[in-house]
Chain A
Amino acid sequence: MTPETTGKRAAARLTRAIALILLVALPSSVLRTSGSARAQGRAADTPVRGGILTQGFQNDLATLDPAIGYDWNNWPAEKMVFDGLLDYNQGTTLEPRLAASMPTVSKDGRTYTFTLRKGVLFQNGRELTSADVAYSINRVLDPKTKSPGSSFFLSIAGAQAMANGKAATASGIKVLSRYVIQFTLTQPDTTFLNVLAMNFAYIVPKEVVAKEGANFGHAPVGTGPFLLKQWIAGQKLVFVRNPHYFYEGLPYLDGVTFLIGLAPEVALLRLESGQLDMLADPIPAADFVSIKNNPKYAGDLVRYVQPETTYLTMNTQIAPFNNVKVRQAVNMAIDKTRVVQLSAGRGVVADQILPPLMPGYDPSYKGYAHDPAAAKKLLAQAGYPNGFSTQLYVLNVDPQPRIAESFQSDLAQIGIKVSIVPLASATLVDQAGTPKKAAMVWSGGEAWLQDFPDPSDFYGPILGCDSAVQGGWNWPFFCDKKLDAMAAHLKVMPDSAARYAGYKTLYSDVMAQAPWVPVINNVAYVMHSPQIHGNATDFTHNVHTFFYERLWKH
């Protein structure tokens, strides 16, 4: 390119920058008009068979292999193709699915015996047997499968030997007969049934996995209510009803189609013009307030408080955050209602570790009140009357940097000078999980979402000593041996009121140590067209998110 043309291109770039600044000042609501007419008439409350649900996704699904998939994108889709021994009803109570009934449990709480339903067929026509269950769980435990969920099954006898490469199968998984399977654990584990209801424990047919190999995730075969008919990578997935599904009456829909590659703004336009039935991704922030306040959409938005907590961590291995008074002072300095505003109202203030829908949540626990004056006093008592300087790591996706600035201004009020370090997702996670690296981390965009509805899930992976290692998710590197022992004891306690009371004590003790500031629990809004019906919990199921088999179209 000649210097002359380089100069011209530079001029064009400058003009482009100026135009961009002017154009961004134009609110998007000015561009929006009424759009096309909407279909009238809401159906009765009884489900109707038929219809195809079309949903828009920005990103392609990674895989439908239940042993590998581990994000909110593929879990609901895996639930379409596969089943597990157990499942959740519309709340958090387990019920039998592929199992004919709930298991019999031995007196010592270590042995679970399941009898399977008879006559359940895989989508290739073969009957499901207990050998398939044993195969599926052993497959997750095999290190060669590279399953991200293998650690959930380590309570099974022989599982650790498999993880260490010393055994080919787990001794604690026994096929007693064609339809009876038995699991023996190394010690009692109250969460074992929750684990068996996870996607990792969905049952796969051995011969199809052997034939497809690494491609099984793109050509899945299960026992579930829908078959995957077609997957054009990066474009669409087409699911159709499984005509031989064992569960009477389900699914209602004839099929589900995912359209991939839709930016949220474009997906919203498609929904409004009737070309889409449901959005998979959140409504874009710029449009959210006007959509929420528009009475036309009132019946098409389902709100739910997500089973997650977004928090600000303080690294207990980096001074002065090794001083509990400093951490408590930070807790008192943070203005959480402003963070809810910065999230466009899509959040509720969090005052404790557990989210509101989690069993064991303590509605009477109040946490640290917002009191900057008291915070400054406490900081002085801790030996920092003039504050100190520190760094805050944050995800570089809006609105997280703006929320970080809010914390920066809160902490400046009590004398703590914070410099913000915005990072891309993979880098943020790596740095936060590196010992003695990140003094403070805002987990916005990387918050802890439950694996299953049991309070133990919010201790081990993010507050336990075992996770305070390189690559772990315990970003405050918090390790209290007494609390670890309490948590281990509670995990194996039989399900009872005493267990949940124990968790209330555990988590209030954690809050007394203040490794975090719990800030908000995210609130999601699922938007769907008026033709799609279901209970609120079918659009926002606690575990499955979109519970496709229970939605219908009319």
Chain B
Amino acid sequence: MARLSMGVYIARRLLLAVGVIIGVSLITFILAYLVPADPARVYAGSNASAATVASIREQLGLNRPLPVQYLAYVGRALHGDFGTSYKLQTPVLSAIESRFPYTAALAGAGILVELLIGIPIGIISAARPRSWLDRGAMGFAMLGVSAPQFWLGLVLLYTFGYLWPIFPLGLAQSPSSIVLPAITVGLSGGVWYARVLRSAMLETLNADYVRTARAKGLGRLIVILRHALPNAITPIVTQLGLDMAYFLGGIVVVESVFGWPGVGQMAYQAIQNDDIPLIMGTVLFSAIIIVLINIFIDVLYAVLNPRVVHS
């Protein structure tokens, strides 16, 4: 009975997801065309004559009515053809495919940094509340959350790529190239997790059952790790999922500063250039990722708490 409900639940979520994707595609398409810019002029460049631009506009099919263009786009998309980027002159799908592994690697590394920073600092702070260690850690947390990623990235590059060249100066030429961008991506999230973990754990540490455990003679560290941490981890797991979805959509600022060849940097350029096929492709790609990850998290919750399925 539970399995059937779970299957129905997933099917319902996937159906809703399809609706969301269609909605996103429609809104993006309309917005891209509403922007007062001429994609044919972007394609042709600034020095092309008006007559040439008009001819190119015709060749690109931009003079057809908007609904016709949209339906043609959807028809081709269902066959895996997401059009050709006006600026990059490559098929949109292959452009995204070639860049996605880099975004995925950076997203994963960023999550790792978030956990490596957040969990130890959160535990230490909760273990010794209001100590110098705690105050120092929370101060560091406030700085970490406040630092703009563009600035942080440049400072890290300057310090560890130029002054003391331990890491490469940007790009993705070697495995160690991922370290500095991952720190830039993960720092603000990581210190935020430290704060959340600290608060949640301190709350738990004051609960009756924990006091009982301490009264029975259990060491403080064991109490923290076995009782407080598991309960405090729930908000972090939720946020991790959202962070992963957000990162996988492309971390524009960090990718641009480090020259990390991911999807985000490409999406930003596409918007600057009113490169409609590429805008559609990257937005749809982000939307699909976010929707799928959200479904995954919700299914995970449903597995942990079956009451969700029946609501």
> Do these two chains interact?
yes
Q: Please list the residues of chain A having a beta carbon within 8 angstroms of any beta carbon in chain B.
A: 5, 8-9, 12, 15-16, 18-20, 23, 31, 33, 35, 59-60, 62-63, 65, 68, 70-71, 143-144, 146-151, 163, 214, 217-218, 233-235, 259-263, 265-266, 269-270, 272-273, 275, 424-427, 429-431, 433-434, 446, 448-449, 451, 461, 466-467, 469-473
A-B contact count (CB 8 A): 184
Question: Which of B43, B98, B163 touches A146 (beta carbons < 8 Å)?
Answer: B43
Question: Which of B38, B43, B172 touches A471 (beta carbons < 8 Å)?
Answer: B38
User: Which bracket fits the contact residues of B?
Assistant: 35 or more
A12 CA to B274 CA in the complex, in Å? Answer: 32
Asked if residues A68 and B269 are in contact (CB atoms below 8 Å), the reply is no
A449 CA to B47 CA in the complex, in Å? Answer: 8
Asked if residues B37 and A427 are in contact (CB atoms below 8 Å), the reply is yes
B67 to chain A, nearest CB (A): 22
Q: Residue of B at shortest CB range from A461?
A: B49
B51 partner residues in chain A, CB cutoff 8 A = 151, 163, 466
Asked if residues B36 and A431 are in contact (CB atoms below 8 Å), the reply is yes
- A148-B235 contact in complex given A15-B142, A425-B272, C-beta closer than 8 Å: no
Asked if residues B48 and A70 are in contact (CB atoms below 8 Å), the reply is yes
A148 CA to B46 CA in the complex, in Å? Answer: 9
Q: Mark each residue of chain B from 40 to 63: 1 if its CB lies under 8 Å from any CB of chain A, else 0.
A: 111111111111111110111000
Question: Which of B37, B49, B56, B146 touches A16 (beta carbons < 8 Å)?
Answer: B146
Question: Which of A148, A262, A263 touches B56 (beta carbons < 8 Å)?
Answer: A148
User: Does B23 reach chain A (CB closer than 8 Å)?
Assistant: no
Question: Which of A147, A235, A261, A471 touches B41 (beta carbons < 8 Å)?
Answer: A471
Question: Which of B50, B59, B163, B273 touches A467 (beta carbons < 8 Å)?
Answer: B50
Question: Which of A19, A35, A59, A466 touches B269 (beta carbons < 8 Å)?
Answer: A59
A473 to chain B, nearest CB (A): 7
Asked if residues B192 and A16 are in contact (CB atoms below 8 Å), the reply is no
User: Does B257 reach chain A (CB closer than 8 Å)?
Assistant: yes
A430 partner residues in chain B, CB cutoff 8 A = 36-38, 41
User: Does B148 reach chain A (CB closer than 8 Å)?
Assistant: yes
B54 partner residues in chain A, CB cutoff 8 A = 471
Asked if residues B259 and A260 are in contact (CB atoms below 8 Å), the reply is yes
Q: Residue of A at shortest CB range from B256?
A: A263
Asked if residues A429 and B46 are in contact (CB atoms below 8 Å), the reply is yes
A449 CA to B157 CA in the complex, in Å? Answer: 35
A378 CA to B265 CA in the complex, in Å? Answer: 50
Asked if residues A269 and B88 are in contact (CB atoms below 8 Å), the reply is no
The 5 sampled A-B contact pairs (Cβ below 8 Å) are A15-B142, A63-B89, A233-B99, A269-B157, A429-B37
Given contacts A15-B142, A62-B88, could you give 13 more A-B pairs where the C-beta distance is less than 8 Å?
A23-B148, A60-B88, A71-B45, A163-B51, A218-B89, A233-B99, A261-B170, A262-B171, A269-B169, A430-B36, A430-B37, A434-B36, A473-B50
Q: 4 closest Cβ contacts across the A-B interface?
A: A261-B259, A426-B37, A70-B45, A472-B50
Asked if residues B171 and A235 are in contact (CB atoms below 8 Å), the reply is yes
A5 CA to B39 CA in the complex, in Å? Answer: 41
Q: Residue of B at shortest CB range from A474?
A: B50
User: Does B301 reach chain A (CB closer than 8 Å)?
Assistant: no
Asked if residues B90 and A151 are in contact (CB atoms below 8 Å), the reply is no
A218 CA to B35 CA in the complex, in Å? Answer: 30
A270 partner residues in chain B, CB cutoff 8 A = 169-170
Asked if residues A234 and B98 are in contact (CB atoms below 8 Å), the reply is yes
A251 CA to B107 CA in the complex, in Å? Answer: 43
A68 partner residues in chain B, CB cutoff 8 A = 89
User: Does B13 reach chain A (CB closer than 8 Å)?
Assistant: no
- A16-B145 contact in complex given A262-B170, A426-B37, A472-B50, C-beta closer than 8 Å: yes
B20 to chain A, nearest CB (A): 19
User: Does B95 reach chain A (CB closer than 8 Å)?
Assistant: yes
User: Does B11 reach chain A (CB closer than 8 Å)?
Assistant: no
Asked if residues B50 and A469 are in contact (CB atoms below 8 Å), the reply is yes
Q: Residue of B at shortest CB range from A147?
A: B52
A148 to chain B, nearest CB (A): 4
B145 to chain A, nearest CB (A): 4
